[in-house]
Structure 1
């Protein structure tokens, strides 16, 4: 699903014009990015949490030449799914299969 598909689905679900939904979605995403720029977490209860993760500077290797390079410190936006999302994604358990019954060898006759 891409942005236009998401907008169309929300518009259909809420009976709102696509232009209005696009405006609201853009505002929500802009707000999340603005909070991330300030190192603030955004928690949507039942859905998940957007948090800024800080990656320290480190030494890496250029795969083409094998030369060591310095990788600068950076920040990234990470998403952690909430309980509601995790529960929605759980696959139903399949019933356990019974092991096939093994046939017993015929009893020996005593003479």
Structure 2
């Protein structure tokens, strides 16, 4: 049993090494076919051989970026800290924060400015309709008027960072 397991593990790398050779043979055969068929076959086979490597690289980058950067502070984290500081149940602190967010959203829908001392100002700004260009074709496109939420940081916050 142990010998067969080692044989299988020895054969596995050989198959992995043979896969690029098979892709090279297939691409050389495809080169003899018409140009469109060759390019499609080569592209699909190349993508199939690179796909696992790309996925692994993306996972490594995602893990590295999440560990290297600072953690994200969510409303739940803020609620937990508030509940500890003010000796409140976590549920009550969470409900209070969600109500604050709802109040901010409602007042922004009305068009009000929201000044949060020490943090900054939230307000709705209107963007006028304008002409733009389609980057692929270059033809002019009409862009509708819209609204956006703008945040202007307070001077104290800017200086502290």
Q: TM-score range by the shorter chain?
A: 0.5 to 0.7
Tell me which residue corresponds to 1:32: 104
Highest RCO, 1 vs 2 (Cα 8 Å, sep ≥ 6): 1
- TM-aligned CA deviation for residue 50 of structure 1: 0.8
- The aligned counterpart of 2:119 is 47
- CA spacing shift, 1:29–1:66, aligned 2, 3 Å: same
Matched, 1:84 2:156: yes
Cα distance between partner residues in 2 of 1:70 and 1:9: 48
Structure 2 unmatched runs, 5+: 1-72
Which structure has more strand as a fraction of its residues? 1
Is structure 2 residue 95 aligned with structure 1 residue 23?
Answer: yes
Pairs aligned (count): 89
- 1:26-84 Cα deviation digits (max 9, x unpaired): 11111111111111101122221111111111112222333321111111111111133
Question: Pick from 70, 83, 86: which aligns with 1:14?
Answer: 86
TM-score (norm 2): 0.49
Residue 136 (structure 2) pairs with residue 75 (structure 1): no
3-state SS of 2:142 partner: strand
If the length of structure 1 is used for normalisation, what is the TM-score?
A: 0.67
Matches of 1:64 and 1:12, distance apart in 2? 54
Aligned to 1:94: none
Check whether the contact 2:75–2:97 (CA below 8 A) recurs between aligned residues. no
In structure 1, stretches of 5+ residues that fail to align are 90-111
Misfit runs of 4+, over 6 Å: none
Counterpart position of 1:97: none
Name the one with the larger helix percent.
2
Indicate conservation of the 8 Å contact 2:122/2:152, yes or no: yes
